Structure 1
Amino acid sequence: MGERAAYASDPSQSRGRLFAPGASPTRSEFQRDRDRIVHSAAFRRLQHKTQVFLHHEGQHYRTRLTHTLEVSQMARSIARALRLDEDLAEAVALAHDLGHTPFGHAGERVLHDKMAEWGGFDHNMQAIRVVTRLENRYAEHDGLNLSWEALEGILKHNGPLTDRQGRALRADKPLPPGLNDIPASADLMAWSYASLEAQSAAIADDIAYNSHDIDDALRAGLIRLADLTDVPLVGPLVREVLERWPDIERSRQAHEVQRRLITLQIEDVIAESSRAIAEVAPQSADDVRNAGRTLIRFSRPVHDAEQGLKRFLFERVYRSEEVMGPVRHSQTVVGMLFDHYLVTGAMPGRWGEAARHAPDRATRARVVADFIAGMTDPYALEQHARLFDGAGQLR
């Protein structure tokens, strides 16, 4: 990496960790964050968690792990071009989905409904719980003991969560559970924007979704390349590829479209973000936090086209019966497991012990949500099959 920009996060100026780990002779603070995330159990479990298509449906579809790796590569590319700290961008990207439930957003919706009485469930806040409380590898503390900047990035990569008075930004979207109870070395300033590194991870997530969900949908036969010719953002690329290489294999055509779509979006983000940064002229990472706007972004034409592409994917892929049929089953699985564990507390190891000693029902429910959120798809299906017969009755 070249010389770091003045507005980039500087690992030597980190606000630190809750527990002092001692100096490292070979790694920066943000490199240590990245490495701790990669070696966590929660990161390994992403291998068997749904992205869009359920894990058992085929080995060529993306899982949360492969999606996360793709996001981290794109975040690092954006960070390098803008002279940011690549390691922090990568760390936030690698951790951004650690709080996801089995079966993707379907499982999250069920847990949110089941936890409504106790503040609901939010996968982003669950990622914070994972890295600050639930990972239990270290002898001296719970959690991964990440730097302040990594925690801030995980919490706020999609933007501020409150106003300066700590109130929700929207009346219809209450504050996520546990926001005021995050162990960190300093206040995470939920009212401010996150670092440019975290913003890079957030937009890389969007780019990955746009590009790779098309690829998986083509593999699944839900759409054909010809269906995309008039779709915003991707349509011109499809027409160009089909005209230039009409006779090559469909898989090669699809890959050519995918790589061009990724390149188009990343190059647009770099150009537009460079303009936005120059306009604000931040001289430090704190200037970025106080800028009052997102600086890592698409240009307006690409943003509008990207929204059109998302609408297409929502209608033709995410809401297709091929996706929604398994989704409905997975929601039933998660709901039945939650109800059973909340009543019985019969979970293995530390989970069962925590449930038995919970001082109230709210604490017990949060333990159950933590346990289920950490499950992989196959493990959740296995536990459901073990506990219930085909009619949904306890065995």
Structure 2
Amino acid sequence: MRAPYACEPETARGRLFPEEESAFRSCFQRDRDRIIHSSAFRRLKHKTQVFVEHEGDFYRTRLTHSIEVAQVARTISNALGLNVDLTEAVALAHDLGHTPFGHTGEDALDALMRPFGGFDHNAQTLRIVTRLERHYAEFDGLNLTWDTLEGIAKHNGPVVTARGNTEGVPYALAEYDAVHDLELHTHASAEAQVAALSDDIAYNNHDLHDGLRAGLFSESDIAELPIVGPAYDEVDRLYPGLDPYRRRHEALRRVFGAMVSDLIDTSRALLEGGEFPNAQAIRECGRPVIAFSGGLWAELRQIRAFLFENMYRAPRVMEQRARVTKVVEDLFPRFMADPSLLPARWQDEIAGLRDESALARLVADYVAGMTDRFALQLHAEMTGTDILMDGH
């Protein structure tokens, strides 16, 4: 039985384009399924998490990361009596707007788009599910429910301080909010908040695992980290002499479990300590209701600081960042200078563009939608260089 503050399909706020309800699936199940079957979701298979896609089959991609986030989110949502299907839909969609080469590609594209309003991957996700996916006869996008769209738009918290004030809001969010009010001044549902912190849990855990596998740091380097060190100590006490790979897995799954348990316990106390007769009360309460404890949050900051220094800014990773940044910096101006280089199916839309800003957003849509592999191949064809081999 779900809690009174859970989002219910029966009280969902509907879709921008009304549709007949399914006889077999709730509206949130349909949202989840449409996300899974989208082209953007499939492309996540070849979009980087930290390592460029070609570097190895064992490292996380945006697709495997999104699946892991959804699994964590389902567990937490179920434990808190929330709507698991809505939570999963938001979790699966949260990275659809990422560029090739992860945050490196996003930083490069944002810099190029700065004269035209910038680029934000979260806003791009909304643009994808409301406009760029074009498979249905009666509408562009996936026509997701309001509840899922607001979770995508503001799972990290309110976007603006007052209703109607969209100053400084990424273009895609402001554009859609003008036709379908997502209440950007309020918090998202508890389900969306679960999806957001499940993202933190997943990447903190798997980046430790991928960093170890890549040799960027060792078990001895992380022995003093909070949560991590005690997890290794417990494994060594229970299983002395365990082989290194099993030892690593046993320790990191304990790290995973510690984060999940803390989030459930802290959030349950926040929810039970408040007056939340329905889901809207969660949105309007003025504070998050899904949170880590203060102690664990401080420990996670230490882990993040370690990962930032030893993984995200490691010399090997920074070298690759510089190279793939050049890919985006080369491709974007080429398409701006000669839009005929874009695929044929984009040409009709190009003909109807009003100004340079509209063209820039179209080019950004195309570049952002590329996988690592496609961006590298296209760059090699256009420039005659293999940037990962040549370093130019």
Identity %: 48
In structure 2, the partner of 1:133 is: 131
- Cα distance, 1:136–1:391 mapped onto 2, change above 3 Å: closer
Report if the CA contact (8 A) 1:15-1:185 is conserved. Answer: no
In structure 2, the partner of 1:376 is: 371
In structure 2, the partner of 1:158 is: 156
Report if the CA contact (8 A) 1:33-1:91 is conserved. Answer: yes
What CA distance in whole angstroms lies between the structure 2 residues aligned with 1:339 and 1:187? 34
In structure 2, the partner of 1:389 is: 384
What CA distance in whole angstroms lies between the structure 1 residues aligned with 2:69 and 2:172? 26
Unaligned runs of at least 5 residues, structure 1: none
Query: Match for 1:364 among 359, 368, 371?
Result: 359
Displacement of 1:175 after TM fit? Answer: 2.0
- Cα distance, 1:241–1:184 mapped onto 2, change above 3 Å: farther
1:62 and 2:60 correspond: yes
1:7 and 2:2 correspond: no
Please give the residue correspondences for 1:197-276 in structure 2 after superposition, counting only pairs within 5 Å.
Answer: 197-276=191-270
Report if the CA contact (8 A) 2:131-2:140 is conserved. Answer: yes
Query: Match for 1:337 among 308, 331, 336?
Result: 331
Displacement of 1:353 after TM fit? Answer: 3.4
1:351 and 2:346 correspond: yes
Deviations 1:39-85 (A, max 9, x none): 00000000000001111000000000000000000000010000000
Displacement of 1:241 after TM fit? Answer: 2.1
Deviations 1:2-31 (A, max 9, x none): x11100001111110011221211100100
Displacement of 1:118 after TM fit? Answer: 1.1
In structure 1, the partner of 2:14 is: 16
Displacement of 1:279 after TM fit? Answer: 1.7
Amino acid of the structure 2 residue aligned with 1:141: F
What CA distance in whole angstroms lies between the structure 2 residues aligned with 1:26 and 1:151? 22
Displacement of 1:183 after TM fit? Answer: 6.4
In structure 1, the partner of 2:301 is: 307
Report if the CA contact (8 A) 2:159-2:185 is conserved. Answer: yes
Deviations 1:287-320 (A, max 9, x none): 0001111111100100110111100000011100
Describe the SS at the equivalent of 1:228. coil
Displacement of 1:166 after TM fit? Answer: 4.2
Higher mean C-alpha deviation, range 353-362 or range 323-332: 353-362
In the alignment of these two chains, the number of paired residues is 386
Report if the CA contact (8 A) 1:17-1:184 is conserved. Answer: no
Deviations 1:77-133 (A, max 9, x none): 010000000000000000000000000000000110000011100000000000000
Report if the CA contact (8 A) 1:55-1:63 is conserved. Answer: yes
Amino acid of the structure 1 residue aligned with 2:55: E
Report if the CA contact (8 A) 2:163-2:184 is conserved. Answer: no
Deviations 1:338-359 (A, max 9, x none): 0100110111033343234321
Amino acid of the structure 2 residue aligned with 1:382: Q
Amino acid of the structure 1 residue aligned with 2:35: I
What CA distance in whole angstroms lies between the structure 1 residues aligned with 2:171 and 2:243? 49
Displacement of 1:390 after TM fit? Answer: 2.8
Deviations 1:327-377 (A, max 9, x none): 111100011000100110111033343234321000000000000010000
1:114 and 2:112 correspond: yes
What CA distance in whole angstroms lies between the structure 2 residues aligned with 1:375 and 1:328? 18
Amino acid of the structure 2 residue aligned with 1:196: A
What CA distance in whole angstroms lies between the structure 1 residues aligned with 2:386 and 2:68? 40
What CA distance in whole angstroms lies between the structure 1 residues aligned with 2:386 and 2:196? 42
Deviations 1:261-306 (A, max 9, x none): 1111111111000111112221110000011111111001001101
Describe the SS at the equivalent of 2:125. helix
1:289 and 2:283 correspond: yes
In structure 2, the partner of 1:47 is: 45
Displacement of 1:251 after TM fit? Answer: 1.3
- Cα distance, 1:391–1:136 mapped onto 2, change above 3 Å: closer
Report if the CA contact (8 A) 1:79-1:197 is conserved. Answer: yes
In structure 2, the partner of 1:71 is: 69
Displacement of 1:247 after TM fit? Answer: 2.2
Report if the CA contact (8 A) 2:153-2:173 is conserved. Answer: no
Amino acid of the structure 2 residue aligned with 1:187: D
What CA distance in whole angstroms lies between the structure 2 residues aligned with 1:19 and 1:167? 25
1:80 and 2:78 correspond: yes
What CA distance in whole angstroms lies between the structure 2 residues aligned with 1:339 and 1:326? 21
Displacement of 1:160 after TM fit? Answer: 0.4
Deviations 1:154-206 (A, max 9, x none): 0010000001144479xxxx322232211698410000000000000000000
- Cα distance, 1:240–1:77 mapped onto 2, change above 3 Å: same
In structure 1, the partner of 2:322 is: 328
- TM-score computed with the length of structure 2 as normaliser: 0.95
What CA distance in whole angstroms lies between the structure 1 residues aligned with 2:261 and 2:145? 30
Displacement of 1:238 after TM fit? Answer: 2.1
Amino acid of the structure 2 residue aligned with 1:56: H
